[in-house]
């Protein structure tokens, strides 16, 4: 791998990490406080899907 290719790969991975950090910040600033206040974060159908997955998942 040439040095230029390594820099491009690093820039791509670094950019993806920045996007992930921004997404986590948005969730932390919007969804978590809303959930603590008792507001629904998901739609009614989304809540049903999460409930169905929780019922199927065996607890350890």
For the stretch 3-52, pLDDT in tens is: 889 999 999 999 999 999 999 999 999 888 888 888 877 888 988 888 88
Return left, alpha or beta for 43; rule: phi > 0 is left, psi -120 to 50 is alpha, else beta.
beta
* Structural domain count of the chain: 1
HSE-CB for 52 with a 13 A CA cutoff: 6
Give pTM, 2 decimals. 0.59
Range of the domain at 26: 3-56
Q: In which residue are the tokens 């040439």 written?
A: 2
């Amino acid at each position: 791998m040439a040095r230029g290719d390594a820099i491009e790969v690093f820039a791509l991975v670094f950019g993806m990490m920045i996007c992930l950090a921004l997404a986590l910040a948005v969730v932390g600033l919007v969804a978590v406080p809303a959930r603590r206040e008792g507001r629904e974060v998901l739609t009614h159908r989304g809540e049903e899907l999460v409930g169905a997955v929780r019922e199927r998942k065996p607890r350890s």
